[in-house]
A and B are shown apart, each in its own frame.
Chain A
Amino acid sequence: MTMLTLRSPVFSFRLPLRRVVVNALLAALAALLIVAGLFGGSYPVSFADFMAVLNGTTDAVTEMVVLDYRLPRILTALGVGLAFGLAGEMIQTLLRNPLASPDIIGFTAGAGTGALFTVAILGTTAFVVPGAMFGGLGAALIVIGLSWRRGIAPGQIVLIGIGITLTLGVIGDLLMTRLDATSAYELMKWLVGSLHSRSYADVQIIWLGLLILAPVAFWHQFILARASLDEPVALGLGIALNRSRMVTLGLAVGLVAVAVSAAGPLPFVAFVSGPIAHGLNRASRPTLLSAALVGAIITLFADMVSQTALSGMSLPAGVFTALIGAPVLIWVLIIQSRKNRL
């Protein structure tokens, strides 16, 4: 593997060249999607228009399109994608299972059931997000609590997560049949996850969350890389395994929580970002930055498709994250099996 060596008088630093190139390309692609989202679409905005909006010297319509509609939507998509990508990669590294995702710790199922409960009991869709947060955090706590065995046991988390997820899923399905048709339809849209008509409140939630949690996640990845080795090896390296696992789970749950409250549980983003990033880097896990960027690219692209290609059908972005994510996973599968690595 070609290494890139950065030297300064104080310290030197070696980076795999491939990782640098991959991350740069991913970042460029994400930037391209942001630009396309801002300037393209059904109401084209030129760069001059955009600068004029920032200077406050333009007509009300352009200002409204850019500032009230596009900017919050794109900022939410970017933040949510980064958060899901980070959370997915951390959970998959911790549990050493490419089929794991934050769903496995019960958060998504709990959030869905919580949202359904508020609607079924209170009869209004006003409290969907608090209900989802309550349900999601509750479910994650139950999964972690039940798999506690003088510390967090990763093998237990997967199994107990499956049990809790299936149970909550069925309770959700049962509640769904007790709702009237209109509420069921509205909730279905939320459960899939949407970026439609996001506000600056959503932007604040997701970016505040990222600002606090992402730096910790990036700092922690060096410990996580060692903590995900075989247990005796990790202990031999002097890793405080239990603390590292708690930090990882806490970060992942926090990131998923802010992302879900901003945009709903966009399916598949957290699940596929890690394997794709891993495949591109051909490096050992975790590859946090690449996974976060892949998550952002998928989310931004899904959002773009949902508003342009099939705008008449008004499908939410969550449908497209899944439609994009699934074939990508199949592609990764084929590539990996050609190399006989699976």
Chain B
Amino acid sequence: MKRNTSSHLATLAIMTTLGLVLAFVSLWFGVRPLPTSTVWQALVAFDPSNTEHMIVHELRLPRAMAALIGGGALGMAGALMQSLSRNPLADPGLLGVNGGAALGVVISIWVLGATAQSQLVFPALAGAGLAATLVLLLGGAVRPRGPDPTRLILAGAAVGALFLALTWAILILSRESLDTYRFWVLGGFTGITKSDLVALLPLFAVSLPMGLAAAFLLAPLILGDDTARALGVRVGFVRVFSTVAIVALCGLTVSMAGPIAFIGLVVPHLVRPLLGADLRLVAIGSFLTGAALAVLADILGRLILPGQEIEAGATMALIGGPSLILLVRFRREVAL
């Protein structure tokens, strides 16, 4: 047991280092390639009059931080979601927040004429919040026993589809919204500025600890509802709290960066073989691995096509789709 704990701590430390190193590497890349020494100087001895230092501080650092936080939030939400629904294939995107965020985005373009990424953050957050509330109500979160996982997923699918239909209607009514939406929907950390990040950080500072708390609360439920209840767990409350945490994490991320697929679905599967079945460890590990993976996708998106950037969300899906298929092909036990 003792040996296990220390090896798990070592694994978590390696994941953290990997994420931070990748984040540092991501500061080199961009329209103007910067040498390592300049990046380092900008971090340790910041000089506001130096343009290159300003690029690092105002654009690349917020972008790398956003990728770390967003990817981490999605990874953690994925681990929670798969445990809550007892379905290894559940993706936090199933809870309908992406559809809600998309509707918020197109309405703000259509009605308010918003075009810049930073103008889309709060409408997306409002839409995601509305969708999440609907999903929680329809999913049975107000019942004494708490939400039923299957019903929650169905409610998420239905609400997500409803919001997507409304989004399509607006996209067809106004060409301007399609022009902005088709870039937003790829998902990525490109347009994130320092002020966006500063505005969203307090919200993440609340929801990430909530996610961690949810992991600790959900962990005993692996024994089954009845056993957990006998141990003194308030099953209904735990389910509601966990769902709220998942929805908050995903809603914040989609508002910040647009929809990013696969991190929530795949990361917990990468983490479990390394850290075992304990949800508390898996949630922390998924946060760290999700963060590293999002930064990696952000870097690769800048390298795949020379002279062009592919958004991190799209890169993630281009890598994630085939790897999911490989996972399914070469591991017998994965099934729905």
Give A contacts to B, CB under 8 Å. Answer: 97-99, 146-147, 155-156, 158-160, 162-164, 166-171, 173-174, 176-177, 181, 184-185, 188-189, 192, 267-268, 271, 313, 315-316, 318-319, 322-323, 325-327, 329-330, 333-334, 337, 342
Contacts and interface: CB of A to CB of B under 8 A. Distances in A.
Given A156-B335, A163-B322, 20 more contacts: A99-B153, A146-B329, A159-B335, A166-B262, A167-B318, A170-B313, A173-B314, A174-B186, A174-B310, A177-B182, A177-B183, A181-B178, A185-B175, A319-B168, A322-B165, A323-B166, A326-B162, A327-B162, A333-B151, A333-B155
B336 A330 contact: no
Interface residues of chain B: helix, strand, loop or mixed (majority):
helix
B129 to A, nearest CB: 19
B182 A176 contact: yes
A315 B173 contact: yes
B10 interface: no
Contacts of B336: 97, 155, 158-159
A192 B165 CA distance: 9
Contacts of A176: 182
Contact of B175 (A146, A181, A334): A181
B325 A99 contact: no
Nearest to A96: B336
Contacts of A267: 161, 165
Contacts of A318: 168
Contacts of B168: 188, 192, 318-319, 322
B325 A146 contact: yes
Nearest to B89: A159
B182 A160 contact: no
B172 A315 contact: yes
B328 interface: yes
25 contacts: A146-B329, A159-B334, A159-B336, A160-B329, A163-B325, A164-B321, A166-B321, A166-B324, A173-B182, A173-B185, A184-B178, A185-B172, A188-B178, A313-B173, A315-B173, A316-B172, A322-B165, A323-B165, A325-B161, A326-B159, A327-B162, A330-B159, A333-B154, A337-B148, A342-B150
Contacts of B169: 315, 319, 323
A170 B318 contact: yes
Contacts of A167: 317-318, 320-322
A298 to B, nearest CB: 13
Interface in B121-172: 138, 140, 148, 150-151, 153-155, 157-159, 161-162, 164-166, 168-169, 171-172
Interface string B296-327: 00000000000000100110011011101100
A323 B170 CA distance: 12
Contact of B324 (A163, A192, A342): A163
B74 interface: no
A206 B242 CA distance: 47
